[in-house]
Structure 1
Amino acid sequence: MSLTDNKPRLRWACRRGMLELDILFMPFVEEAYDLLSEKEKQVFERLLEEQDPELFAWFMGHQVCEDKELNAMVQLILKRVKV
């Protein structure tokens, strides 16, 4: 079953080993996830499959994600945080 079809499982997948990532993902799922297109939801689910050190580096600007779709999702989440 896809996480897209199961919000409680999606919330669980957003719980990470780093507080910094939890602070980004949890509000995003609660406030913005339902507004995403189906394609964007799939990209977000793919983002959650990445390892915490890579996610941390991307979100903190230490590295740029080379996957264009994942990088666009990172930027979307960061934009929501800055607003």
Structure 2
Amino acid sequence: MVEQSELNRLFWQSRRGMLELDVLLVPFTQEIYPQLDEENQRRYRKLLNCEDQDMFGWFMERNEPEDEELRLIVRMILDRVQPK
């Protein structure tokens, strides 16, 4: 179980000040992150350490992360919001 203090910290880290990122990351942190397994939680925390411009390119699907773990978590976040 994820502690509330960790969720609070991640919530603030997920607020990037760039609307395109905020609308993806903040709801993901609040709604999905607590149910993720430990491995995917670790991947998400790793993603939050990336530069905003890199994340913007990944989420706009202009390019992909070179790191396989980051590719997986980016895809997970995108799959949540893209119509099937």
TM-score normalised by L of structure 2 = 0.89
Contact 2:7 2:30 in 1 (8 A): no
Number of aligned positions between the proteins: 81
The CA deviation at 1:17 is: 2.5
The CA deviation at 1:32 is: 0.7
Please provide the CA RMSD for this pair: 1.8
Q: Aligned to 2:16, what secondary structure does the other structure show?
A: coil
Contact 1:43 1:69 in 2 (8 A): yes
Output aligned runs, 1:1-20, within 5 Å.
Answer: 6-20=6-20
Contact 2:65 2:71 in 1 (8 A): yes
- Per the alignment, residue 49 of structure 2 pairs with 49
Instruction: State the distance in 1 between where 2:6 and 2:28 align.
Output: 16
Q: Aligned to 1:45, what secondary structure does the other structure show?
A: helix
Structure 1 residues without counterparts, runs of 5 or longer:
none
Structure 2 residues without counterparts, runs of 5 or longer:
none
- Per the alignment, residue 61 of structure 1 pairs with 61
Contact 1:33 1:41 in 2 (8 A): yes
Letter in 1 for 2:62: H
Instruction: State the distance in 2 between where 1:29 and 1:21 align.
Output: 12
Contact 1:43 1:73 in 2 (8 A): yes
Q: Percent identity?
A: 43
Moved beyond 2 Å, runs of 4+: none
